[in-house]
A = this chain, B = another copy of it.
Amino acid sequence: MQTLLLNRADVVENARMADVIRAVEDAFAAYERGNAQMPAKSYIDLPEYNGDFRSMPAYLNAGDWDAAGVKWVNVHTDNVEKHDLPTVMGTIIYSDPETAFPLAVMDGTTVTRLRTGAAAAVATDHLAVEDATSLGIVGAGVQSYSQLEAIASIRPIETVVVSDLDDERVQAFVDRFGDAFDVRSGSIEEAAACDVLSTVTPVESPIVRREWLGDHTHVNAMGADAEGKHEHDDRTLLDATLVIDDYAQTTHSGEINVPWSEGTLTDEDIHGSIGEIVVGDREGRTAETGISLFDSTGLAIQDIATAHVVYAHANDNDNGDPFDLIDTRVR
């Protein structure tokens, strides 16, 4: 038996965004219904290298398919400067739940990017106005691309306002998407006035003011992924229909972690989880909803759901490189 090796190009080729969004939505539903297993991330901290490793195993049963695997991912802050390598890299082992055979090993960096975009799209689908045509993006780094790709696949986005302190990054973003959308560089204030706003920065003090948001803006707060990180005004979090991906992760390291720890924001301010909305236990946007905000920290089930889409499509199309990796002899 052979394990399929899937590099960046293979992942991109086989991760049809519409399928990834549906799979991630299914994963949120499975998690909500108790049909997923996601042990807490295990951390290995290496202060001597200014980095850490995280092991993220998961299983989910979406009804007509199930999937298992592990993502091994890191955050090494000095990588760019010292080693010309990304801060974050990931590798995924995707396994058959029934036999545990490793069906694929794939580029987890690319999967992470895609599943993060897909999570924003699921939230946007349930929480943004139906006719959202404008998208603001704050932070033009690696995650911004999949925000636009994913969100544009569920809303009729025409105008994109991208904001970043680094002009080169803004220009690269405009170059990439200028043909398909009306993309322009703008201030955070201009980005925040759009129908949908995705923030993908690592800042530790809020940079988006409450009053800059449109009356019905839906915000995807994707940036905060560690204690102390915080992109938005507390007033935004308190005023918004506030939706989280996971209670434990968001209160510990998501957008809400700072005001929640300080007691400024309490459990009563949380409208519900994205899983509750997906399965219909909580309402998404209604005629009465003003601003809404999705606090996304990223769940291992999103990675495994995305890996499922990539593997299934690659396998069907004979993509990737099959390799005899594992000894499967029975003795």
A residues with CB within 8 A of B = 1, 3, 5, 7-8, 37, 39-40, 42-46, 49, 51, 53, 55, 57-59, 68-70, 72, 74, 76, 79-80, 83-86, 89-91, 93, 95, 97-102, 105-110, 141-142, 169, 172, 321, 323-331
Contact = CB atoms under 8 A, between A and B. Distances in A.
Contact of A55 (B8, B51, B55, B80): B55
Given A7-B326, A44-B68, 6 more contacts: A49-B97, A49-B98, A69-B72, A86-B331, A91-B326, A108-B326
Question: Which 8 interchain pairs have the tightest Cβ spacing?
Answer: A74-B100, A39-B42, A8-B327, A55-B57, A109-B327, A91-B102, A44-B59, A70-B72
Contacts of A327: 7-8, 86, 89, 107, 109-110
A80 B331 CA distance: 9
B328 A89 contact: yes
Contacts of A90: 326
Given A53-B59, A91-B325, A331 B141 contact: yes
A91 B105 contact: yes
26 contacts: A1-B85, A5-B323, A7-B323, A8-B324, A8-B326, A8-B327, A39-B44, A42-B42, A44-B57, A44-B58, A53-B68, A55-B55, A72-B93, A72-B102, A74-B95, A74-B100, A76-B98, A76-B99, A76-B100, A85-B101, A85-B330, A89-B100, A91-B102, A91-B105, A107-B325, A321-B323
A315 to B, nearest CB: 17
Nearest to A98: B49
A41 to B, nearest CB: 9
A7 to B, nearest CB: 5
A235 to B, nearest CB: 33
